[in-house]
Structure 1
Amino acid sequence: MERTIAAWSSIAKTVFVPNTEQEYERLVELLDSLIDRVGEDESHPLASMMDVIGVLIENYEAEHIPELEEVV
């Protein structure tokens, strides 16, 4: 648990639940950077982080940008 606490402390300002449009945009930029780096390589060390960021973005969009769901 101590290692988890230390690791989380170092990334908590990067990986978070977005509550504002500005935070959402920061996560979108981060996801874009991860996609550029990871690509389709599911074995890349950052692939699971990319998945988590994607879910955080999807959840924000579902709650705050309802017109996106209408398009799907």
Structure 2
Amino acid sequence: MSVLIKKAAEHWEFVSPLLRKPKNEDDYDMLARALDELLEMTGDDESHPLMSLVDIIGDWIAEWDRKHHPMREASGAEVLGYMMREHGLSQSELPGVGTQSVVSEILSGKRQLNLRQIRWLAERFGVSVETFI
């Protein structure tokens, strides 16, 4: 038996919970907590020896989230509302979208963003046009 396998076998009891894909929410929660701890240990050091474990656990968590906690797509109006809150903007502070009443109708879902407005918003907030589509 190689030294590497022998060492792994000696410590398997302690390491194995981290090296299994989640099968239920409890497994998922345990891996999420472990990932938080690992990220505190590794920080921004991409060359840290534990980064490969961070990558593995992160991939498993992302896979579980895609399958079991899918995020719905946000509408352009929802994204606009979020961006306005984040930037502390009022409806009247978006002249490229239109008047305050036009912005209000967009936010309430009575009107859709058009391509010109989307382009203006993407430039205003420094994001891609896909953000509002």
| TM-score bucket of the superposed structures, by smaller chain | 0.7 to 0.9
Which structure is larger by alpha-carbon Rg, 1 or 2? 2
Which of 10, 16, 23 does residue 12 from structure 1 map onto? 16
Task: Specify which structure has the bigger relative contact order, considering alpha-carbon pairs within 8 angstroms and separated by 6 or more residues.
Answer: 1
Matches for 1:18-37 after TM superposition, within 5 Å: 18-37=22-41
Unaligned runs of 5+ in 2: 75-133
| Superposed CA RMSD | 2.2
**Cα–Cα, structure 1 residues 55 and 4, in superposed 2: closer, same or farther, change >3 Å?**
farther
Q: What letter corresponds to residue 45 of structure 1 in structure 2?
A: P
Structure 1: distance between partners of 2:7 and 2:61: 25
Q: What letter corresponds to residue 58 of structure 1 in structure 2?
A: A
Partner secondary structure for residue 18 of structure 2: coil
Percent identical among aligned pairs is: 34
Q: What letter corresponds to residue 7 of structure 1 in structure 2?
A: A
**Cα–Cα, structure 1 residues 66 and 50, in superposed 2: closer, same or farther, change >3 Å?**
same
Which of 25, 46, 52 does residue 42 from structure 1 map onto? 46
Unaligned runs of 5+ in 1: none
Which of 58, 70, 74 does residue 66 from structure 1 map onto? 70
Q: CA deviation at 1:5?
A: 7.0
Q: CA deviation at 1:53?
A: 0.6
Q: What letter corresponds to residue 43 of structure 1 in structure 2?
A: S
Q: TM-score, normalised by structure 1?
A: 0.80
Q: What letter corresponds to residue 19 of structure 1 in structure 2?
A: K
Moved over 4 A (4+): none
Q: TM-score, normalised by structure 2?
A: 0.46
